[in-house]
Amino acid sequence: MSLMYSAATHQNLLSRIPAVTGREISDWLKAVDDGPGLTRCEEKIDWLRREYDISYGYAKAIVHEHDLRRAARKLA
C-alpha cells in the first residue's frame, strides 16, 4: 500500500488515534489481526471504517502501520 502522505504525517496520525478513538494503537493492530482476514488494504480500511466508525485517514494509517509491522516481523 503506498502512502499519499509523508512518514511524518503517518506518525502524526498514529499519535492522534488514541485521543480520537479512545483506543491504543496496539488495540487497533490486534483488531486488524483478529478481523475477518481480509487481504487487500482497501478491504481492511473499509472494514475498520464500517466496524468501528472511524475516518478513512485513521483507518488507512492503522492498516499501513499493521502492514509495516507485519513486514518487519517477517524480516526478523
Grid coordinates in use for 48? 475498520
Q: What is the DSSP letter of 76?
A: -
Q: What is the pLDDT of residue 3?
A: 55
pTM of the shown model: 0.90
Q: What is the pLDDT of residue 2?
A: 53
The dihedral built from the CA positions of residue 56, 60, 61 and 66, taken in this order, carries a sign that is positive
Q: What is the pLDDT along the chain (76 residues), one digit of tens a residue?
A: 555 778 899 999 999 999 999 999 999 999 999 999 899 999 999 999 999 999 999 999 999 999 999 999 888 7
Distance in angstroms (rounded) separating the CA atoms of residues 31 and 12: 21
Distance in angstroms (rounded) separating the CA atoms of residues 46 and 6: 22
Distances (CA, A) of 28 to 21, 22, 59, 75: 10, 10, 9, 22
Mean pLDDT of the chain, nearest integer: 92
